[in-house]
């Protein structure tokens, strides 16, 4: 499972780098792209922070429910071997 996560992250980084190179060769910068959509880096950062603030309570609620259930199911399994 960890290998799959690392593999996905590696592919994501490779594709992101390839797109960055293509955009650089086309003469486009991040500031130009953001200007075309009418945003600033600060606004994007604020949106990410606001999204995290909205997601964190739900994430914690899910953890509080799922982890104890997982522990109960894990302890109720018959022993191996």
pLDDT at 58: 94
Instruction: State residue 65's pLDDT score.
Output: 93
- All structural domains of the chain with their residue ranges: 1-38, 40-81
* 8 Å CB contact between 55 and 48: no
pLDDT at 51: 95
pLDDT for 29:
87
pLDDT of residue 53: 95
Running along the chain, 81 residues long, what does each successive block of 10 average in pLDDT? 88 96 91 89 94 94 93 89 73
Give phi and psi for 28, each to the nearest 5. -105, 140
The full DSSP string for 21-44 is HHHHHTT--HHHHHHHHT--HHHH
């Amino acid at each position: 499972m960890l290998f799959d996560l690392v593999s996905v992250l590696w592919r994501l980084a490779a594709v992101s780098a390839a797109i960055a190179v293509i955009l650089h060769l086309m003469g486009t910068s991040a500031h130009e792209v953001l200007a075309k959509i009418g945003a600033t880096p600060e606004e994007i950062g604020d949106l990410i922070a606001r999204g995290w603030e909205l997601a964190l309570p739900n994430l914690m609620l899910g953890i509080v429910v799922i982890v104890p259930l997982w522990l109960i199911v894990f302890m109720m399994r018959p022993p191996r071997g």
